[in-house]
Amino acid sequence: MSKTIAVIPGDGIGPEIMAATLEVLDALDCGLVYATVEAGMVALEKHGDLLPKATLDAIARHQVALKGPLTTPIGGGFTSINVTLRRHFDLYANVRPAISFPGTKARYQNIDIITVRENTEGAYLAEGQTISEDGEVAQSIIRNTRKGSTRIVRYAFEMAVKKGRKKVTAVHKANIMKTSSGLFLSVAREVAKEYPQIEFNEMIVDNACMQLVMRPEQFDVIVTTNLFGDILSDLCAGLVGGLGLAPGDNIGEHAAIFEAVHGSAPDIAGKGIANPCALLLAAADMLDHLGMVAKGTAIRQAIRDTLAHEHDAATPDLGGKGSTRSFAAAIARRVRQAA
For the annotated catalytic residues, the residue numbers are 124, 173, 206, 230
Could you give the CA distance from residue 237 to residue 299 in angstroms, rounded to a whole number?
19
Q: Does residue 61 sit in helix, strand or coil?
A: helix
Query: Which x/- pattern, by CB under 6 A, does the window 36-75 give for ligand ATP?
Result: ---------------------------------x-x----
Beta-strand pair 3-8/32-36 = parallel
Among 268, 282, 290, 292, binds ligand ATP (CB under 6 A): 268
Select from Mg ion, ligand ATP, none the partner in contact with residue 268, using the beta carbon and a kind-dependent cut-off of 5 to 8 Å.
ligand ATP
What span, in angstroms and rounded, lies between the C-alpha atoms of 79 and 81? 6
Contact between 156 and 116 under an 8 Å Cβ cutoff? The reply is yes
Q: State the virtual CA torsion across 70, 75, 76, 79 in degrees, nearest 10.
A: 50
Separation CA 250–CA 63 (nearest Å): 12
Nearer to ligand ATP, 69 or 296 (CB): 69
- Residue from 38, 118, 230, 317 that binds ligand ATP (CB under 6 A)? 317
Handedness of CA 210, 157, 234, 130 (dihedral sign): negative
Question: According to the binding rule CB under 5 A, does residue 263 interact with Mg ion?
Answer: yes
What CA–CA distance (Å, rounded) separates 24 from 299? 8
Number of residues that bind ligand ATP (CB under 6 A): 17
Q: Which is nearer to Mg ion, 263 or 316 (CB)?
A: 263
To the nearest whole angstrom, how small is the minimum distance from the Cβ of residue 72 to ligand ATP? 8
Distances (CA, A) of 338 to 19, 306, 328: 21, 13, 15
**Cβ 51 to Mg ion, closest distance in Å?**
19
Judged by CB under 6 A, which of 9, 122, 216, 244 binds ligand ATP? 244
Residue with the shortest CB distance to ligand ATP: 263
27 CB neighbour count, 10 Å cutoff:
22
Residue window 178-217: x/- pattern of binding to ligand ATP, with contact defined by CB under 6 A: ----------------------------------------
**Interface pattern 211-230 for ligand ATP (x via CB under 6 A):** --------------------
CB of 332 to Mg ion, least distance (A): 28
Q: Least distance to ligand ATP from the beta carbon of 234, Å?
A: 11
Q: Which residues contact 314 (CB under 8 A, 6 or more apart)?
A: 103, 275, 306, 307, 320, 321, 322, 327, 330
Give the residues lining the site for ligand ATP (CB under 6 A): 12-13, 69, 71, 243-244, 262-268, 274-275, 278, 317
